[in-house]
Each structure stands twice: as C-alpha cells, then as structure tokens.
Amino acid sequence: MQSLSLNKRAAILSVVLLAVFLGAWEISVTRQVIGEALTEYEILMGLGQQRAAVPPPSDVFIKAWEQLSDPFYDAGPNDKGIGIQLAYSIYRVLSGFGLAVLVALPLGFLIGMSPVAYKALNPFIQVLRPISPLAWMPLALFIIQDANASAVFVIFICSIWPMLLNTAFGVAGVRADWVNVARTHELGSLRTALTVILPAAAPTILTGMRISIGIAWLVIVAAEMLVGGTGIGYYVWNEWNNLDLTSVIFSILMIGVVGMLLDAFFAALQRAVTYAE
Amino acid sequence: MKKNFLSIERLTQTFPDGAGGTLTVFENASFGIDKGEFVCILGHSGCGKSTIMNVLAGLSEPTSGVVKMDGVAVSGPSLDRGVVFQNYSLLPWLSALKNVTFGIKARYRNWSRDKVIEHATRYLAMVGLEGDVIHRKPSQLSGGMRQRVSIARAFANQPKLLLLDEPFGALDALTRGTIQEELLKVWSQTEQTVFMITHDIDEAILLADRILLMTNGPFARVAESVEITIPRPRVRTDIVTHPNYYAIRNHLVQFLGKRSKELAGQRSDGESQSPDPVRIDLTEPAPEPEPDLVRAQLKAVNS
C-alpha cells in the first residue's frame, strides 16, 4: 500500500477522533431508557417528565445551521443573531486592544531604551500585571459610568501587559552592532527607532501582541457576562438563563473558532516580520 | 611635524579595573595617517586596537586626547568615517541591496530612488555581487558574501576615512584571499583613506602602505610604523618573491613574537608617544648579499 503523507494521516486521524467523539456523545445522550409504567405518585411528582439533558450533537448542528444561515438578524434586545453578538465582542476586543497598542508600544520603547525608566516603572508594572482584569470592572463601572466603555477598558488593561513587557524586552535586546550601524550613519533617534530598532524588535513585539489578543478574547466573554446587553459572553449567559443548552454549546464553539482566527491573524503577522540571522 | 590628514594626538584610554583602581590601556598615543593611505594596525589581543578603532569611529570617547581630521577635532560617530565591523553588522531583515541603500540614503538624503539603487548596484558589483544575489537576505548569503555587502555599504558612502575592524577575521583562508583582492581593487578605484585592524601579517603586507605595530597592554603604545616597500599593484602570488617581502615579514614576526612583550608596560611619563618609522628596503642598496639574507630570514620565520 502506498503510504500516505504525514499530513494526510494526521487529517484522517483527526476526522476519526471527531467522529468517535460525536458518535459517543450522540449515543450517550439519546439512549434514554423509557421506564416502566409510573405510579400515580410518580406522575404527580413530575418524575415522568423527560429530564433536561445535554443536547446531542445533531441538535447542535441543526442550531448551528439555523444560526449561521441568518447570523445578523435582530429581533429585540434578547434575540440577536450570532453574527451581531460576535461583532460586538470583536469590536470591543479590537478597541481595547488598539488602545493598549497605542500605550504599550511607545512606553515599551521608552522602558527598553532607558534603564532609568525601566527601574522607575518596573514596580508599578509588577504590581498591576497580576491583577485579574475583571477586578477592575467595579472601579471602571463607577468611574466611566458606561458598561460598554468599561468592558473596553477591561480589555485594554488585560492586553497592555504582555505587549508592554515584550516591547521593552525586544527593544532592550536589539544587538548593539545594529544600533552602532545606525549611529555611524548619523541617524536621528526617531529614524533609528523606526528603521533599526522597530524591525529588529518586531518579532518579539508581535509575540507580545499575539499573547495579548489571546488573553483579550478570553477576558471579553467573562466581561460581557458581567456587563450584559450584547456580545458573545452575554449571549452564552442569556442562553443559559433560557436553559437553551444547544445554543450554549454552539456559542462555545463559535468562541473557539473566532479565537483561533484572531490568533492565526497575528501568527501570520509575526511570520511576516520574522527574520533569520 | 607635518600635518596629517588624520592625526591622533595624545590619546589615552583608562578603564576602571573593578578593584577601585584604573587600568590604562594606552597612554598619550599619537600617530597620523595621510590622505589616500592604507594603514593596518597589528598587535596582540587586548592591546587596545579595537579601542582605538572605536574612538576613531566615534562610538566611544577616549579618556583624554583628540582625534583630528582635516585639522578639526572630531567627536561622535559621523558619516565621514565609515565602519566595517568584524561581524558584518548587516541588518538581517533587509536584502543585500537594501542594506547598501540604507547607508546611501542616510548619506545622500536628496538622491532619487533610482540614483540610490544605481549607486548601490555599482558598488555591489565592484565586490563581485551581481544579479539575483543582491536581493537575498543576509541569512541566505555565505560569510564571505555578507562581508562583501558590508564593504560595499561602507565604500558606497564614500567616507573620508574608512575603518575596518578585522573584516576578514571570521572568514576561511580562501575566501579571505579573494575578498582581500576585491578590497584592493575597490580601494585603488576610490582612493579612500583606510585604517584597518588585523591579526594577519600577510594580509597586512598585501594591503597596507604602512603597518602600525602595537606593544602589549597595559600601557600599550604604537611603537613602530613600518613602511611596506613593495610597489603596487600587488598580487599575492607575486609579492612573496619580492626581495623586501620576507625582510618585512620577518621584522613583523620578530616584533609580535618578542619585542611587543619586551616593550610592554612602559609608562609614557607624560610624553607623547609617536611610533618610530621603520623602512626596510633591500632593493635600494646593492642587492649583493640578498640571497643569503633571504634564506636566513626564511629560517627565522620557520623557527
């Protein structure tokens, strides 16, 4: 037999694993034993009613088909399409992340290039960094007085640290030779920063951004469960309150898919700026 | 004393020795370089060659003393003093061509894009890099090619003074030979003033008009300035048969092997330390005793 390539064998194995998992899930939840005739007491106690169970994958597929064939419908505050909910979440993540970039990159350059700035700011960073982003939420809600902006702020505060530290680390680690090349060519500080230090540190900076966007996507779900209104986090919680587990499972899958796409985007950016020495 | 194009006057460099005192690398070192001259500096590791180089490049400040170029004291790095570093120092995210245009754009800010590229391509061709190769990234080039790019970048900027810090130190002997010849070719076309650090005696004789010899540190000094009395153009295979070749080589080997140690550690006592000029030319007097002499020197080299 012609041996298949590594990729093909891996793909076949993936499909088999998925089929086994879905099959086992389907069988375990649909095989509900119909009991013998119930006594009058049992009927009165409601024991005859079908117990709420985890929906089988087939139900989830049907739900996914329904939702994805019309992702942007809007039938009131509690009934919006999955596309709209995801768009709200992505919008919040990108706004918070974008603000974090605007702060983290210049500050990271400063910390990376100036040992004094590094020593002065390091204690603050070390204290602020381990704080769970959601712990900022009450303070943010009180000060900003706006649920949506507070969610953006929480994303901002959680995505700033990996970017800041990686930028500082990347900038500080730029080889002295390359800086000397800039110096012997009489480049000013700004030109040195843009034409030598930025490309030299770009792979490290992009690593920080990739970590940040991952964390931001984790945090937005929890943040939206708290602030409510719109977004994929709110959607999950709302469907839980509706006891619609099919939708909960479906939205969990969608969170995974979007997270993967965001990561893939930054991975591609990272590859584009990576250089071999 | 006549005015040199580049004059190093009473240069002193001390570093803290880590135990509260200071370590004097060299003291009151003075020497000059003429315009268009190719000068090599030879000395053992740690004698301060690279420190002198860094001061000339403006990358570090001497403890005291001045470097004057065209009679004007220089400070800080400048485009007038191009540097070729030992480890090439090419920017790895730029192609060979872009590395050269990077320098040209810094030097000639008002040149058009086409002119910059044309200029860069010409200098890359001078060191033997043509065609697709110039669009490769440094990681896709061999060590020899990288150093060629680095040399092209430095020459393309047409600095008044070109500083080469052991440019061939990391290359194998065959590649080194080829690039030395290319360097000679480019140098003869451009009439650059070149100051170069090397460890390689034969390389120094092939390339230089004058070789400065440094004693061992601490308190190193530029003790001698040996004129290379071998006419140009020089070809590696021909110069070894020139009567002066082994005489000069022998002198250099003797200095580096013995006298650099004997002369080490002498304080300057506030005197300016200029190198003693040395001129060895066996072609000037009657070349009668020459064969014996050459044989004797050959023996000395081999021993």
Give pLDDT, residue B1. 47
Could you give the number of structural domains in chain B? 1
Rounded to the nearest integer, the mean pLDDT of chain A is 91
pLDDT in tens, B155-203: 999 999 999 998 888 888 888 888 898 888 888 888 889 999 998 899 9
Pick A177's closest partner by Cβ from B58, B87, B103. B87
- The band of A4, judged by pLDDT with boundaries at 50, 70 and 90, is confident
**Window 52-71 of B, Cβ < 8 Å to A:** 57-59
What whole-number percentage of chain A has pLDDT above 70?
92
**Window 254-273 of B, Cβ < 8 Å to A:** none
Asked, for residue B209, whether it belongs to a domain, the answer is yes
Q: Which residues, in sequence order, are CB contacts of B190 under 8 Å at separation 6+?
A: B155, B158
Asked, for residue A34, whether it belongs to a domain, the answer is no
Asked, for residue A71, whether it belongs to a domain, the answer is no
**CA–CA distances in Å: residue A168 to residues A103, A184, B74, B110, B141:** 12, 24, 33, 34, 30
Interchain CB contacts (distance < 8 Å): A and B = 55
For residue B285, the number of C-alpha atoms closer than 13 Å in the C-beta half-sphere is 7
> A174, A181, A273: which to substitute to probe chain B, counting the most B Cβ within 10 Å?
A181
Asked, for residue A102, whether it belongs to a domain, the answer is yes
Chain B CA closest to residue A192: B106
Asked, for residue A55, whether it belongs to a domain, the answer is no
Confidence check: pLDDT of A135 > 60: yes
Nearest CA of chain B to the CA of A61: how many Å? 47
Chain B CA closest to residue A276: B139
Pick B77's closest partner by Cβ from A178, A186, A196. A186
Confirm or reject contact between B107 and chain A (CB < 8 A).
yes
- The band of A235, judged by pLDDT with boundaries at 50, 70 and 90, is very high
Confirm or reject contact between A5 and chain B (CB < 8 A).
no
Full domain range(s) for residue A241: 80-273
Confidence check: pLDDT of A15 > 70: yes
> A174, A185, A192: which to substitute to probe chain B, counting the most B Cβ within 10 Å?
A185
- Contact A180/B93, CB-based, under 8 Å? no
Asked, for residue A38, whether it belongs to a domain, the answer is no
pLDDT in tens, B209-260: 999 998 887 888 888 899 999 998 888 888 889 999 999 999 999 999 888 8
Confidence check: pLDDT of B58 > 50: yes
Range A141-163 average pLDDT:
95
Pick A199's closest partner by Cβ from B93, B103, B107. B93
Asked, for residue B83, whether it belongs to a domain, the answer is no
Rounded to the nearest integer, the mean pLDDT of chain B is 86
Confidence check: pLDDT of A87 > 50: yes
Range B16-31 average pLDDT:
85
Confirm or reject contact between B75 and chain A (CB < 8 A).
no
**CA–CA distances in Å: residue A62 to residues A24, A50, A53, A55, B138:** 18, 21, 17, 11, 54
Range B23-44 average pLDDT:
89
Asked, for residue B138, whether it belongs to a domain, the answer is no
Asked, for residue A16, whether it belongs to a domain, the answer is no
- Contact A186/B79, CB-based, under 8 Å? yes
Full domain range(s) for residue B285: 6-34+44-76+197-302
Q: CA-to-CA distance for B177 and B184, rounded, in angstroms?
A: 11
Asked, for residue A20, whether it belongs to a domain, the answer is no
Is residue B149 within 8 Å of B96, Cβ to Cβ?
yes
**Where residue A259 sits, what CATH number does that domain have?**
1.10.3720.10
Is residue B38 within 8 Å of B196, Cβ to Cβ?
yes
Alpha helices in B127-200 (DSSP H): 143-156, 173-190
- The band of B302, judged by pLDDT with boundaries at 50, 70 and 90, is very low
- Contact B78/A200, CB-based, under 8 Å? no
Give pLDDT, residue A47. 64
What whole-number percentage of chain B has pLDDT above 70?
92
Confirm or reject contact between B158 and chain A (CB < 8 A).
no
Chain A CA closest to residue B87: A177
Q: Please name which of A101, A98, A223 lies closest in space to residue A162, comparing C-alpha atoms.
A: A101
Could you give the number of structural domains in chain A? 1
Range B84-98 average pLDDT:
92
Confirm or reject contact between A179 and chain B (CB < 8 A).
no
B165 token code pair: 């810090």
Q: CA-to-CA distance for B65 and B55, rounded, in angstroms?
A: 10
